[in-house]
Every structure is written in structure tokens, then in C-alpha cells.
Amino acid sequence: MRFAIGLTASKRRTVALAGFLLLAVTSGCSLPADAPPIDSPPGSLIKFVAAEYSPLTKPMLEKLVREFESRNPTINVELQVVGWDIMDGIYTNMLAQNDPPDLLNVYNYSHLVEQGLLNDFEELLPVSFRSNLQPYLVKLDRIGEKQYAIPYVASVRSLYYNKKLFQQAGVQAPPATWSELKQTAARIGSETQANGFGIGMSDDDIAGYLSYFFFGAGGGWLKDGRWAINQPANVEGLEMLKFMYEANFTDEEPWMTTREDKQRFVGEGTLGMLISGNFFSSFAVREFPDLEWGRSPIPVKDGMPPLHFGVQDVLVSFKTAHSDPKAIASFIEFLYEDSYYTQMVLNEGFLPVTRTGELTLAVNYPGIQADLTDLSEAHFFPVEQERWGIVIDAARSLGSAVLEGRYSPQKALDELQSVAEGADNRYR
């Protein structure tokens, strides 16, 4: 591309992705090539509850379902597309009514395994399909000897920033360390009308921001396979977040605004930086096409090695009274067909979890392989831990308490450790 000449490799990747995303968003979503219908009993039903990632999600999936049903007239797909904020309530209510979905798009599922509710995908899907999934993600989704989940979409987390605000503040390069993060946020706050750094302490992002600063300090959620939430490095990470807030380097009420709100603040020029995923590029193309933005690694404690943090969402399959394994397998394979799946990944701004998807996208987005390399080396949430969901539920109530000084970082993490170990009677 003519306009990419002279840019660094990472910037060329960003420019190429933005152009390709614009093409994907405006050209619609092509569907898989003709495939023969499967031999399935008449009236087979698949209940699919999917997460809404953007305004594009529902129309894309509805189109896919119509095409699948037209090719497989004996199979009916009952689709629900719901926001992450109500996802838990939707499927929990279905379970309470003894009417679970056949397929669920989710990120936290170990509690469902413990209850014996899920199918093993090794029994459901052929080897030819499973071998096309990124192996390191598949490995993360194994609990014991069973494949209770398969990866659906993934992202690598990075620091995203408004270049115009950096220029106005006289900042020459994005911060790589906590010291530089403090300095950069301070300069943006003093030289512009914007806040420096967005902290995610709302329901949808607190697990991420705790992870970025735990791992950035050399800590993490686990140590030697056991919960280690109140280890000294994690306390130091939470103290750093508290310092940023108390120094007025952040947005005013980080527990009140969502990640999408903060992305919009960056686009509007009222926030200098935030940590987000690859989907920021799709968001920017869709809502702020004139925004000049940059991307760099997550800042870490001075002297610590670079941090790669990844997130994946998965599909799980419930055992249901009406299950038709052949129909479910056919629908999943259709969902992951390259001609549909790669368009979906681009439109939503994710990384593909299939090897063929990676090869298809690499033609126009060379940087995808570098991102997938980072993903393969990344830390992830410990979703395999049965009490992970309970820990994060407890963390949500502690975010504002720590930042406003009602809880010290040490006390908050001691409490989370107690929750994780099952010693806190309030979180049984």
C-alpha cells in the first residue's frame, strides 16, 4: 500500500488491518460454499445462544442460520443473540427450567463441567475438524481428559492510544513501563483536556485489568496450580492501579464505565489510553474512521519482561433431551467454514482460532501471524478453575472499594484469596 511506505512493521500491520476491516465491514459477509445436507432425523432442533460482540453480530448469525436451514431442511436452529451483561442470566434460567441450549458461546464454563452438564467434543466432532483448531487454545479448553469446550474467537490485549493527544502532550512514544505510564498519563492530563489512562473496573473488564497488573508485576492468579491471589506481586499491581486513580491519571469513575465506553472516549479525544483487544481496530473503523490511533504492548513494572495476555471465548455443548449429535456437529462445522468465519472474525475484530482461517487472513493481513504468535505465548484467565466465576463476582464488588480507599489492596486480595479457597461463607 502506498500510504504504508516508511512505517514500522507493527504500524504497517495496523494500516493493513484497518483497510481490510473497512472492506469486510462494508462488503457484508459471504457464506460457505454449497455443502451437501446431512442425513438427520426430521425436526432436529439446535438451540444456540450466542454472545453479541457488536451491532454486526446478530445479522451475521441470522444470515448464517437461514443459509444452514435452507441446505438442511430437516434441522431447525433456534438462535438467541444476547449481550454479555445478561448472558449468565439467560442460560442459567434455561438450566433452571431444564431446557439448556445445545450450543452456548461463553468464556467461563468450568462450573458447568463440575455439574456434569456438558458434552465431550471429542465424541461430537470429527478429528478432521478438531485438528484445524489452534492446538494451544484447544489444550487450554481441556479439563481432565475431556474436551468440554472448543475455541470460538480470540484476542491479544494491548495498549491503544490516541495519537493526536500524544502529539498535543508532547509524548514521543507509548509507555512500555509503569514509570513511563505514569509520566505519559500525567502529561496528557496537564497538556490536554483529556484524562490520561482508562482503568477497567466495571463488570466486563475488572478481570482483565487485574490480570494485566498482576502479571505485569510478575504475579498471577495461580502459583504451582494453586490460588495465589494475595501474593506480594499482585498486591503491588493493585497498588499501581490505585495510585493511578488517586493521582487523577485515569477516568473519574472507572467502575461505572464499560470498556466500550472507554474506547469511545479514546475516539472522542477525552481519554488518552486504555488496554483493549484486537477488536479495538474494528470498533475504530466502524465508529471513528478518522481517528489516528496506535497500539503497543501492555506496560509492565520496570525491569519485567514484555507481557502477552490473551482472551478466548468458547463454544460448549449441553446434554439435552433432544440432542442430535450429527446435526450439532454439522452446524458447528458450517459455523467455522472459512468463507463465513474469516469475515466474522474481521467484522468483529478478533483473531481466528482455525489454522485455515489464519492462512486465509494472512494474505491481506500479514500481522495476524505475529498476533497469533503472541497469543500462543500469552497468559490467560484461569477459567479451568471451578471457582473462577465466583472469584470474579467477588472482585466486582471490590474494585471501587479499593480505588476509593475503603479497602486496602492487601485486604481486598486477602478476601479474594479466601473466596477462591472456599473459606468465605458469603461466596459458597
Mean pLDDT, range 283-287, rounded to an integer = 95
Please check the confidence at residue 24 and state whether its pLDDT lies above 50. Answer: no
List all residues 6 or more positions away from 375 whose beta carbon is below 8 Å from its beta carbon.
Answer: 134, 136, 137, 154, 156, 308, 310, 351
Model confidence at 149, pLDDT cuts 50, 70, 90, reads very high
Contacts of 137-140 spanning 24+ positions with Cβ under 8 A: 137/312, 137/353, 137/375, 140/312, 140/380, 140/384
Banded model confidence at residue 11, pLDDT cuts 50, 70, 90 = very low
pLDDT number for residue 364: 87
44 vs 41, 47, 80, 105, CA distance in Å? 6, 10, 17, 20
* pLDDT in the model for residue 37: 55
Q: What is the pLDDT of residue 23?
A: 41
Mean pLDDT of the chain: 90
Of 183 and 16, the structure prediction assigns the larger pLDDT to 183
Say yes or no to pLDDT of 359 above 70. yes
In tens, the pLDDT along 152-211 reads 999 999 999 999 999 999 999 999 999 999 999 999 999 999 999 999 998 879 999 999
Kindly state the average pLDDT of the residues 327-343.
97
Residue 397 has pLDDT above 90, yes or no: no
Nearest to residue 340, comparing CAs of 360, 312, 325? 360
Q: What per-residue confidence (pLDDT) applies to 38?
A: 54
What's residue 198's pLDDT?
97
Q: What is 26-155+311-376's CATH number? A: 3.40.190.10
Average pLDDT value for residue range 391-410: 93
Q: Is the pLDDT of residue 105 over 90?
A: yes
Supply the pLDDT for residue 252. Answer: 87
Q: Residue 424: is its pLDDT beyond 80?
A: no
Please list, in sequence order, all residues whose beta carbon lies within 8 angstroms of the beta carbon of residue 79, skipping any fewer than 6 positions away: 48, 50, 61, 62, 65
pLDDT digits (tens, 9 = 90+) for 215-260: 999 999 999 999 999 999 999 999 999 999 999 999 989 999 999 9
| CATH no., domain 157-309+384-427 | 3.40.190.10
List pLDDT tens digits, range 115-137. 999 999 999 999 999 999 999 99
Q: How confident is the model at residue 165, as a pLDDT? A: 98
> pLDDT at position 204, please?
77
C-alpha 163/C-alpha 267 separation (Å) is 10
Q: Give the residue range(s) of CATH 3.40.190.10 domains in the chain.
A: 26-155+311-376, 157-309+384-427
